[in-house]
């Protein structure tokens, strides 16, 4: 066992990278669920975002165009879900599952010509002096822009939901859509916008995997992160900062357990491998003892005539 | 996933119904990953395409990808048998028990399980001696490492993977007594993000050679980003990452076997076999060793490939002790296939425990 082989600064820096796709997807889904819609299609929107981002980055040579395309791709796919659930009043659970399956198939089709290609890399923030600082440099000042965007987005969603009129309307729609409708708010419009926002965030999360974390395209490369994001929203009791905490905890323990294994620490590998799931759930369950509950209209369809 | 399978099998059923009149042999494949993984499943699918190429209209192939190992595999294999397959290849170790169970229910269908050891009247097993390729990799790794630290991304603690670690370690140690292996078990065959994280953790801890027993090219991408790290293609050539970081590869070539076995079913000569072929028959191929490897090391590696191929050298030749120091193979003694097939111990010098 040689714990000195693990550098804390590099560990923290890489846990932030590992957590970001999860954070991006989960913060988008949080907004969707706050509006009273349960979209189980996160995995599908992520993988479509991953291929859209990858393909456009390769074709244009610009990672920023790719990121934009990933958001558009995720949002477009989510409008399909929005149409099914908001206008056709289809069951949200079934539509969400179908969206995931559709997304997985569509991305495999779109990605056929992109297997084995290397994308142009995303420039990292590099502030002379600051980035080279020991310890704090690699943690705070040497990441790609999307990682900071994830943190900013969490703060923005938190502030929006808590302090703004828009946030109030969104929450009202999610808690009691009939009341919101009676007050004259356009429930369907709010929900569609929320669903598209969620899709864009999931697409962004997917692009983070295909452009930065892995960087390459392979079928099925999101490997269940969308599903973990869905669970994370529930365990974080629909609170933005807890989503961030949960994502960093999950990403962190995942990276830590790999590092501990490489350092040869004498904990059975099976325990290390399951620790990210167990510890994240445990911490969030303890935190959720404050009886926060799901938005009351979550998963229910709304039609003005009902 | 279940819905995809339903859809896929519905499509397959339709296809079967339309072709039922013709006298075709139906060959099914169960894959653990997506065909586009660039590694393990990709090569099996190349084998399937070779079968189609060889027999044309006389054969019909179909497959299901992303079938989880475990209970659900039994359902997927059963479905394939119900659809009228004459021959079914199940291509991952975790399908062993499900394959045996389904085979009992369909005595007229022939089954072939890759990398397992349980046979029955209608179940053959086949595997390749990947450890021969890993011996070559280990030799190159031992010669090339400057930090004397070799990282190894391991999937599941099954004999196949343990054998690979031992083989690579023995041959790295032989040319570099100071070499040390850092092993990470990721408990997956295919999860690019996790494989990338594992590769990064190994590289951050000083590994400048990363070996992998997982199926994606994510470790190659991580090594490329890190700079002075070399890797090897796994299952597939992965030459798009050459000449650096990928300096060579182990390629699985299943096509001749799949063609031969399909032919046997057509001729009615199919019988239960236990195939374990290596470099000698070409089931294991060594991808081109790139120029990043110095010429003398390359020559030594090629000599080893030749010796493994003509049988003059066995990758497990004594003296080799087990991890606890007890003797396993005496000077000049070679390991028998039975021990290799069920290998569940590390050889002397590897640090750490095998998860059980």
What pLDDT sits at residue A113? 86
- Decide if B225 and A215 are in contact by the 8 Å CB cutoff: yes
- Span B320-347, pLDDT tens digits: 999 999 999 999 899 998 888 889 999 9
- The 10 Å CB-count burial string (b at 16+, else e) for A262-289 is bbbbeeebeebbebbeebbbebbeebbe
Of the residues B38, B65, B185, B204, the best mutation for testing chain A's interface (the one with the most A CB atoms within 10 Å of its CB) is B204
Nearest to B184 among A121, A222, A262 (CB): A262
CB proximity under 8 Å: B 137-196 to A: 151, 157, 182-188, 190-194, 196
Q: What is the pLDDT of residue B62?
A: 93
Say what percent of chain B tops pLDDT 70. Answer: 94
As a whole number of angstroms, the distance between CA A56 and CA A76 comes to 15
pLDDT of the residue at B1: 45
- Whether B2 has a pLDDT exceeding 70, the answer reads no
Query: Which chain B residues contact residue A259 at CB under 8 A?
Result: 201, 204-205
Percent of chain B at pLDDT > 90 equals 72
**pLDDT value at B276 more than 70:** yes
- Residue burial B138-154, b: 16+ Cβ < 10 Å; e: rest: bbbbbbbbeebbbbbbb
Give the pTM: 0.84
B124-176 residue pLDDT tens: 999 999 999 999 999 999 999 999 999 999 999 988 899 999 999 999 999 99
CB contact under 8 A, A269 and B353: yes
Chain B residues inside the 8 Å CB shell of A118? 221, 224, 240
CA distance B4 to chain A (A): 6
All residues of chain B having their beta carbon less than 8 Å from the beta carbon of residue A97 are 3
**Residue B19, pLDDT above cutoff 70:** no
Q: What is the predicted pLDDT for the residue at A116? A: 74
For chain A, which ranges sit under pLDDT 70?
A: 1-3, 266, 290-291, 306
Which of B63, B162, B184 is the best mutation test for A, with the most CBs of A within 10 A? B184
| pLDDT value at B6 more than 70 | no
The C-alpha of B329 sits at a distance from chain A's nearest C-alpha, in angstroms, of: 27
**B15 pLDDT higher than 60:** no
pLDDT band at residue B230 using 50, 70 and 90 as cut-offs: very high
> Has the ipTM of the complex gone over 0.90?
no
Contacts of A124 in chain B (CB under 8 A): none
Which of B66, B193, B240 lies closest to A225 in CB terms?
A: B193
Q: What is the pLDDT of residue B21?
A: 43
Nearest to A115 among B36, B200, B221 (CB): B36
Residue-wise pLDDT tens digits, B78-127: 999 999 999 999 999 999 999 999 999 999 999 999 988 899 999 999 99
Q: Which of A93, A216, A250, A268 to mutate to test the interface with B (most CBs of B within 10 A)?
A: A216
HEC letters along chain A: CCHHHCCHHHHHHHHHHHHHHHHHHHHHHHHHHHCCCCCCCHHHHHHHHHHHHHHHHHHHCCHHHHHHHHHHHHHHHHHHHHHHHHHCCCCHHHHHHHHHHHHHHHHHHHHHHHCCCCCCCCCCCCCCCCCCCCCHHHHHCCCCHHHHHHHHHHHHHHHHHHHCHHHHHHHHHHHCHHHHHHCCCCHHHHHHHHHHHHHHHHHHHHHHHHHHHCCCCCCCCCCCHHHHHHHHHHHCCCCHHHHHHHHHHHHHHHHHHHHHHHHCCCCCHHHHHHHHHHHHHHHHHHHHHHCCCCCCCCCCCCCCCC
Can you give the pLDDT at residue A2?
A: 62
């Amino acid at each position: 066992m040689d714990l000195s082989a693990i550098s804390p600064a590099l560990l923290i820096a890489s846990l932030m990278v590992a957590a970001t796709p999860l954070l991006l997807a989960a913060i988008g889904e949080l907004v969707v669920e706050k509006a009273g819609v349960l979209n189980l299609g996160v995995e599908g929107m992520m993988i479509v975002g991953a291929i859209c981002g990858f393909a456009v980055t390769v074709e244009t040579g610009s990672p920023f165009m790719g990121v934009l395309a990933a958001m558009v791709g995720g949002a477009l796919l989510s409008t399909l879900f929005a149409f099914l659930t908001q206008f056709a009043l289809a069951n949200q659970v079934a539509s969400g599952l179908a969206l995931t399956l559709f997304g997985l198939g569509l991305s495999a089709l779109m990605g056929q010509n992109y297997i084995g290609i290397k994308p142009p890399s995303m420039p990292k923030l590099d502030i002379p002096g600051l980035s080279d600082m020991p310890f704090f440099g690699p943690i705070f000042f040497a990441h790609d822009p999307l990682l900071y965007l994830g943190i900013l987005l969490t703060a923005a969603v938190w502030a929006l939901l808590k302090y703004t009129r828009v946030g109030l309307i969104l929450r009202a729609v999610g808690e009691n859509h009939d009341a919101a409708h009676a007050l004259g708010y356009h429930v369907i419009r709010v929900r569609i916008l929320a669903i598209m926002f969620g899709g864009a965030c999931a697409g962004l999360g997917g692009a983070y995997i295909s452009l930065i974390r892995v960087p390459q395209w392979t079928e099925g490369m999101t490997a269940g992160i969308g599903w973990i994001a869905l669970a994370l929203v529930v365990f974080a009791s629909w609170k933005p900062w807890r989503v961030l905490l949960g994502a960093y905890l999950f990403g962190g323990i995942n990276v830590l357990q790999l590092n501990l294994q490489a350092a040869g620490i004498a904990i059975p590998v099976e325990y290390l491998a399951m620790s990210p799931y167990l510890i994240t759930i445990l911490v969030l369950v303890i935190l959720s003892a404050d009886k926060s509950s799901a938005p009351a209209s979550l998963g229910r369809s709304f039609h003005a005539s009902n | 996933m279940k819905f995809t399978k339903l859809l896929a099998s519905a499509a397959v059923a339709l296809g079967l119904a339309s072709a039922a009149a013709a006298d075709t042999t139906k060959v099914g494949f169960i894959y653990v990953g997506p065909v586009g993984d660039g590694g393990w499943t990709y090569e099996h699918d190349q084998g399937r395409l070779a079968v189609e190429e060889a027999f044309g209209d006389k054969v019909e192939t179909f497959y299901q990808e992303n079938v989880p190992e475990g209970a659900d595999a039994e359902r997927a294999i059963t479905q394939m048998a119900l659809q009228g397959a004459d021959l079914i290849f199940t291509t991952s170790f975790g399908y062993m028990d499900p394959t045996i169970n389904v085979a009992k229910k369909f005595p007229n269908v022939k089954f072939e399980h890759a990398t397992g050891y349980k046979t029955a009247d209608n179940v053959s097993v086949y595997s390749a001696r990947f450890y021969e390729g890993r011996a070559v990799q280990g030799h190159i790794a031992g010669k090339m490492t400057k930090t004397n630290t070799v990282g190894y991304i391991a999937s599941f603690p099954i004999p196949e993977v343990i054998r690979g670690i031992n083989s690579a370690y023995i041959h790295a140690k032989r040319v570099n007594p100071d070499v040390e292996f850092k092993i990470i078990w990721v408990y997956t065959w295919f999860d690019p993000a996790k494989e990338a994280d594992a590769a990064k953790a190994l590289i951050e801890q000083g590994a400048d050679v990363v070996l992998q027993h997982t199926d994606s090219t994510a470790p190659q991408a991580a090594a490329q980003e890190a700079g002075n790290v070399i890797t090897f293609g796994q299952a597939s050539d992965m030459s798009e990452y050459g000449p650096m970081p990928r300096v060579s590869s182990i390629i699985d070539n299943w096509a001749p076997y799949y063609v031969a076995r399909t032919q046997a079913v057509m001729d009615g000569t199919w019988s239960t076999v236990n195939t374990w072929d290596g470099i000698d028959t070409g089931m294991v191929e060594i991808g081109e060793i790139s120029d990043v490897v110095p010429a003398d090391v390359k020559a030594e590696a090629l000599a080893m490939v030749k010796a493994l191929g003509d049988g003059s050298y066995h990758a497990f030749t004594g003296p080799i002790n087990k991890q606890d120091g007890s003797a396993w193979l005496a000077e000049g003694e070679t390991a028998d296939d039975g021990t290799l097939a069920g290998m569940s111990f590390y050889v002397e010098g590897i640090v750490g425990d095998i998860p059980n």
